[in-house]
Amino acid sequence: MEAIVKDLNECFINGEFLNSSGGVSEVFNPATEEPIGLAPVADSDDASAAIHSARSAFDHGTWSKLDVSERARYLQRFHDAMVGLRSKFVEIIRIEGGATCSDAGMRQFDLPLKHFQACIKKGQTDFSRNLPPVISGNPELKFLGSGVVKRIPAGVVLAISAFNYPTYLNLAKIGPALITGNTVVLKPSPLTPFQALLLGQAAKIAELPPGVLNIINGDAELGLQLTTNPDVDLISFTGSDVVGAKIAQQASVSLKRVLLELGGKSAVIVRADGDLDMAAQAILKGFTSHCGQGCAIFTRALVHNSIRKELVERVATIAKEIKVGDPADPKTTMGPLISASQRSRTEKYVGLATDSDAKLIFGGSRPNEFRKGYFYLPTLFDEVSNSDTIAQEEIFGPVGCIIGFDSDEEAINLANDSKYGLRAGIITKNVGLAYELAEHLKVGHVVINGGSLTSMSELPFGGIKRSGYGREGGEEGLLEYTYSRAIEFHAG
Ligand code: NAD
Q: Annotate 177-232 with DSSP letters as a single string.
A: HHHTT-EEEEE--TTSHHHHHHHHHHHHHTTPPTTSEEE----HHHHHHHHT-TT-
The answer to whether residue 1 scores a pLDDT higher than 60 is no
3 vs 90, residue with greater confidence = 90
Please tell me the pTM assigned to this model: 0.97
**Nearest ligand 1 atom to alpha carbon 396:** 31
**What residue's CA is closest to ligand 1, atom 8?**
189
Q: How far apart are CA 218 and CA 187, in angstroms?
A: 7
Angle at the Cα of 87 (from 73 to 212), degrees rounded to 5? 35
User: At residue 38, what is the residue type?
Assistant: L
The answer to whether residue 431 scores a pLDDT higher than 60 is yes
Contact, 403 vs 392, CB < 8 A? no
Query: pLDDT tens-digit profile of 5-43?
Result: 999 999 999 999 999 999 999 999 999 999 999 999 999
**Nearest ligand 1 atom to alpha carbon 224:** 19
- Distance from residue 243's CA to the centre of ligand 1 (Å): 6
**What residue's CA is closest to ligand 1, atom 43?**
295
- Distance from residue 358's CA to the centre of ligand 1 (Å): 29
261 lines ligand 1 (CB under 6 A): yes
196 lines ligand 1 (CB under 6 A): no
User: What pLDDT does 454 receive?
Assistant: 58
**Nearest ligand 1 atom to alpha carbon 342:** 25
Burial of 85 (0-12, 13-18, 19+ CB in 10 A): middle
Query: pLDDT tens-digit profile of 283-313?
Result: 999 999 999 999 999 999 999 999 999 999 9
CA R_g for the chain: 24
- Mean per-residue pLDDT over the chain, rounded: 96
User: What pLDDT does 458 receive?
Assistant: 86
Q: What would the DSSP string read from start to end of 289-322?
A: GGGG--SSSEEEEEEEHHHHHHHHHHHHHHHTT-
Contact, 258 vs 239, CB < 8 A? no
pLDDT confidence band for 119 (50 / 70 / 90):
very high
CB atoms under 10 Å from CB of 322, counted, come to 17
Angle at the Cα of 132 (from 131 to 134), degrees rounded to 5? 110
Handedness of CA 442, 445, 448, 449 (dihedral sign): negative
Catalytic residues: 261, 295
User: What pLDDT does 455 receive?
Assistant: 61
User: What pLDDT does 384 receive?
Assistant: 98
Query: pLDDT tens-digit profile of 272-282?
Result: 999 999 999 99
Query: pLDDT tens-digit profile of 330-351?
Result: 999 999 999 999 999 999 999 9
The answer to whether residue 456 scores a pLDDT higher than 90 is no
Query: pLDDT tens-digit profile of 152-162?
Result: 999 999 999 99
20 lines ligand 1 (CB under 6 A): no
Question: Mean pLDDT, to the nearest integer, of 380-402?
Answer: 98
Helix (H, G, I), strand (E, B), or coil: what is residue 456?
A: helix
